[in-house]
């Protein structure tokens, strides 16, 4: 479903991503891990079109995505969340989801007027369902900036889901979460996958990655150094070295990794 070939991004002299090859199959939860600065966020930004690649191709459902703007890629089915939450802080929770209803299905189902100036009953129902799923049912009229950290993460996740993606890119969705919230997040990720969404998970919290993913690729200095099932990756020596070679304590990643 997602094919990356020789994907590279150079920032001046820094090779943030250096010839990444990756295939994510439809319906799987795919993990992308690596020490800080190894190029994970860069990969996500290339896949969803925020950065233009220096070399290589991004292919999604057989279609080449190179040169397409982020909103076009979203409409093709690629949604994402951000490492540092990026909500619309002065919009209400409800509005944050409302503006994100941009899937071709939603566009086709609503006429121009009802899409921009009205809200059909179906829209309201669907947004209410999303709110419930995100455990924000009672917070619809709250400004996004007034939410607690965990709620903001859930809202961003729900906003991505509101676009009905076929592929969801999650950039460290568990960062800063409590153990309970992480468990909860694992459930949401699986739930979304079970409804047919393919997931690319970038994460430092190993218990989450090892718990939900089926395949994992490991990056170090912009290059893929390992690939396999969670078990295989955990036993891989190159991976253990990469994590021990960087400051293992601040990433909190090596715990289960090494």
Partner 1 sequence: MSYYLGLLQLIGVHTLLGLSAYVLMLTGQLSLGQAGFFAIGAYSAGILTVIFELPILPALLAGALIAAFFAFLVGFPALRVKGLMLVVATIAFSEFVRLFFFNLSWRVPRGDIHVGPDSTNGFREIRYFVANGWSAWEITTFVWIFVILVMAALWWMDRSRAGAVLRAVGEDELAAQSAGINLTAVKVTAMTAGGFIAGIGGALYAHTATYVDHLTFTVLLATFAISYPILGGLSSVFGTLVAVIFIQGVLVEGLRFLGDWRNIVFGLLIIAAMNLKPSGLFDARTTLLLRRSVGLGGRE
Ligand X SMILES: Nc1ncnc2c1ncn2[C@@H]1O[C@H](COP(=O)(O)OP(=O)(O)OP(=O)(O)O)[C@@H](O)[C@H]1O
Interface mask (CB under 5 A) for Mg ion, residues 19-58, using x and -? ----------------------x-----------------
One of 69, 179, 235, 244 touching partner 1 (CB under 8 A): 69
Q: Find, among 203, 206, 213, the residue nearest to 41 by Cα.
A: 203
Q: Which does 155 bind (CB under 5 to 8 A by kind): ligand X, partner 1, Mg ion, none?
A: none
> Contacting ligand X (CB under 6 A), which of 1, 2, 16, 189?
16
Whether residue 244 contacts residue 254, with contact meaning beta carbons closer than 8 Å, is answered with yes
CA pair distance 29, 193, nearest whole angstrom: 7
| Complex with partner 1: residue 19 or 140, whichever CB lies closer | 140
Closest CA to 187 of 134, 244, 121, 240: 134
Beta bridge partners of 246: none
250 binding ligand X? (CB under 6 A):
no
Other C-beta atoms within 10 Å of 208: how many? 21
Binding-site size, ligand X (CB under 6 A): 12
Tallying the residues shown for the chain, one arrives at 258
| Closest to 58 (Cα-Cα) out of 50, 69, 46 | 46
What residues numbered 68-127 form the site for Mg ion, per CB under 5 A? 83
Tell me the C-alpha distance between 199 and 27, whole Å: 7
Q: Residues in the site for partner 1, rule: CB under 8 A?
A: 48, 50, 69-71, 74-75, 79-80, 82, 86-92, 94-96, 98-100, 102-103, 115-119, 140-143, 159-160, 162-163
Q: Residues in the site for Mg ion, rule: CB under 5 A?
A: 41, 83
Q: Residues in the site for ligand X, rule: CB under 6 A?
A: 11, 14, 16, 34, 36-42, 83
């Amino acid at each position: 479903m997602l094919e990356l070939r020789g994907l590279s991004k150079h920032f001046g002299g820094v090779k943030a991503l250096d010839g990444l090859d990756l295939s994510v199959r439809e319906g799987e939860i795919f993990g992308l891990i690596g020490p800080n600065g190894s190029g994970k966020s860069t990969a996500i930004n290339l896949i969803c079109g925020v950065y233009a690649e220096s070399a290589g191709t991004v292919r999604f459902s057989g279609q080449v995505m190179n040169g397409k703007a982020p909103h076009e890629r979203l409409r093709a089915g690629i949604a994402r969340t951000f490492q540092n939450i990026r909500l619309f802080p002065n919009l209400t929770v409800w509005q944050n989801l409302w503006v994100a209803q941009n899937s071709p299905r939603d566009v086709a189902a609503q006429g121009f007027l009802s899409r921009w100036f009205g809200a059909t009953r179906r829209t309201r129902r669907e947004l209410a369902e999303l709110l419930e799923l995100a455990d924000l049912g009672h917070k619809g009229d709250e400004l996004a900036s007034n939410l607690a950290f965990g709620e903001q993460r859930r809202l961003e996740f729900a906003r991505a889901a509101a676009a009905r993606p076929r592929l969801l890119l999650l950039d460290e969705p568990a960062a800063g979460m409590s153990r309970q919230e992480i468990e909860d997040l694992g459930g949401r990720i699986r739930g979304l996958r079970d409804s047919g969404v393919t997931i690319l998970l970038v994460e430092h919290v190993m218990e989450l990655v090892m718990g939900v993913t089926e395949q994992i690729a490991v990056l170090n200095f912009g290059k893929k150094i390992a690939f396999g099932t969670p078990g295989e990756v955990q036993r891989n020596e190159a991976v253990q070295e990469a994590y021990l070679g960087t400051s293992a304590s601040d990433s909190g990643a090596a715990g289960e990794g090494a």
